[in-house]
């Protein structure tokens, strides 16, 4: 039996920060950030509906998608409300002037309590999957992350992951490569999926400089409501 996925709507949107330039939300695991072949309503459209209703805006609402999270992942997603904010944020993210912290829950304890993982990730578009290689292979991109075990749960381990690069499925692929696939992540070697089709990977914290006000912003996304995440709080 699969649990019904709770997806974001304009009425239940979890807004973490909002001003004239930015709107930052806590994405639920069922949300897609941008439209895809499923035809499901993307989070970007939900955010536009929220803005239109809240600010009584007639006509089209401008909204720029700055970055994405995989559909089964939850956590911080930033949208730009002006073209100026979008171009500056795009530059910020492209130049990695952001600090991204993820939390993930794995069943198999990693080989070390903390480590830096360096792999060469090669994407297979047909499978929508990235393979981690120790040595460089053709068409691969270098992926670097730092992790540490921050809590031991009854049957699982909570890891804090800091990304240095932002590759396709990077955390999922690299943790799988060291024998610690993320809970629920069938695609990367976990033995069973979660009932709501989520995986236990959460974009917990994002730090960056506001594109217009030039102030440092640190956004923390509350954890999803499930017993295992609750044990981590």
Question: Three-state SS for 119?
Answer: strand
* Beta-strand pair 157-163/64-65: unpaired
Q: Tell me, what DSSP letter sits at residue 182?
A: B
Measuring CA to CA, which residue among 123, 119, 197, 191 is closest to residue 156? 191
Query: What 3-state class would DSSP assign to 51?
Result: helix
Q: Is residue 70 flagged as an active site residue?
A: yes
Measure the CA–CA gap between 129 and 117, rounded to whole angstroms.
Answer: 18
DSSP 3-state of 38: coil
Nearest to 27 by CA among 227, 203, 229, 185: 203
Three-state SS for 8?
coil
Cβ atoms of 200 and 210 within 8 Å: the answer is no
Annotated active-site residue in 11, 70, 115, 196: 70
The two three-digit tokens of residue 198, written as one number: 């989520």
Cβ-proximal residues to 104 (8 Å cutoff; 6+ apart), any chain:
158, 159, 161, 171, 175, 182, 200, 201, 202
Residues with catalytic function? 70
């Amino acid at each position: 039996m699969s649990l019904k996925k709770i997806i974001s709507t304009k009425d239940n949107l979890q807004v973490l920060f909002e001003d004239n330039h930015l709107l930052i939300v806590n994405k639920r695991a069922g949300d897609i950030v941008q439209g895809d072949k499923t035809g499901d309503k993307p989070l970007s459209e939900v955010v536009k509906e929220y803005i239109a209703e809240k600010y009584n805006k007639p006509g089209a609402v401008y909204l720029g998608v700055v970055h994405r999270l995989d559909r089964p992942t939850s956590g911080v997603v930033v949208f730009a409300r002006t073209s100026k904010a979008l171009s500056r944020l795009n530059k910020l993210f492209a130049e990695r002037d952001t600090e991204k912290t993820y939390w993930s829950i794995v069943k198999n304890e990693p080989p070390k309590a903390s480590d830096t993982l360096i792999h060469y990730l090669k994407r297979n578009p047909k499978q929508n999957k990235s393979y981690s290689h120790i040595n460089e292979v053709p068409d691969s991109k270098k992926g670097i992350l730092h992790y540490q075990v921050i809590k031991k749960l009854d049957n699982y381990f909570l890891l804090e992951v800091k990304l240095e690069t932002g590759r396709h499925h990077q955390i999922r692929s690299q943790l799988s490569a060291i024998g610690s696939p993320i809970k629920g992540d069938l695609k990367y070697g976990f033995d069973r999926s979660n009932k709501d089709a989520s995986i236990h990977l959460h974009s917990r914290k994002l730090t960056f400089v506001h594109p217009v006000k030039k102030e440092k912003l640190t956004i923390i996304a509350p954890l999803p409501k499930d017993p295992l995440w609750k044990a981590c709080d």
